[in-house]
Amino acid sequence: MAFALTNLLQTLRIGSLGINKSDASDAMLVEKAKAKIDLQLAVPEITLEEVAHHDSFDDCWIVIYDRVYDVTHFLREHPGGDDVIMDHAGRDATIAFHGTGHSRHAVEQMRQFLIGELPPDQCIFRTGQNKVLSSGIPD
Ligand code: HEM
């Protein structure tokens, strides 16, 4: 299903380059397809208390912008070193992550480690007036 939707998105992108198609209707279809893909990426809620249990080199979760990432297998490959991530193992690493000024590539790479999101009452970046506004951070 995801494969089919990806194909659809690619087809529409090519179509909207100008071959007799309404850009507006293309855009609408793309938005609908994206929404379906987003639904498929839905992840479970994980509390900060649960995250705190995963604070070791062999089992390392971190929170970035209210989302939970299992970076256990990424630690050794991290271009910035394993120690800087281990400093935040089992905890919120948002400020450190953002302060380092990670590239768009890093933000994209992060998606593959996503395992959950904080419950709404523990979110501090994506709730109420505090919606994340930084460019490059996943929607
Ligand atoms: C899943 C989470 C993370 C991913 C996918 C990730 C990815 C990357 C990547 C791809 C780079 C190379 C430079 C770039 O493209 O921006 C990098 C560098 C770096 N990262 Fe991360 N990172 C993550 C978490 C963190 C955290 C939590 C810290 C905490 C301080 C951190 C600190 C650094 C540092 C210090 C560098 C080196 C910057 C430099 O030498 O210019 N990263 N990271």
Mean pLDDT per 10-residue segment, the chain (139 residues): 46 43 64 55 92 98 97 97 98 94 92 96 83 69
Q: Encode pLDDT of 20-60 as tens digits.
A: 555 666 766 666 655 555 545 589 999 999 999 999 999 99
ipTM beyond cut 0.85: yes
Number of domains within the chain: 2
**For ligand 1, is residue 104 a contact (CB within 6 Å)?**
no
The verdict on residue 137 lying in a domain is no
Q: Are residues 13 and 53 in the same domain?
A: no
113 in any annotated domain: yes
Residues 60 and 110 in one domain: yes
So what's the pLDDT on residue 138? Answer: 72
- Residue type, position 101, single letter: G
Q: Are residues 32 and 54 in the same domain?
A: no
Ligand 1 centre and the CA of 66: distance in Å? 17
Pocket test for ligand 1, best of 100, 110, 112, 134 (most atoms within 8 A of CB): 100
Q: Are 61 and 85 in a shared domain?
A: yes
Q: Where are the alpha helices (DSSP H) in the chain?
A: 2-15, 23-40, 48-52, 82-86, 94-99, 104-110
Q: Which domain holds residue 17?
A: 2-40
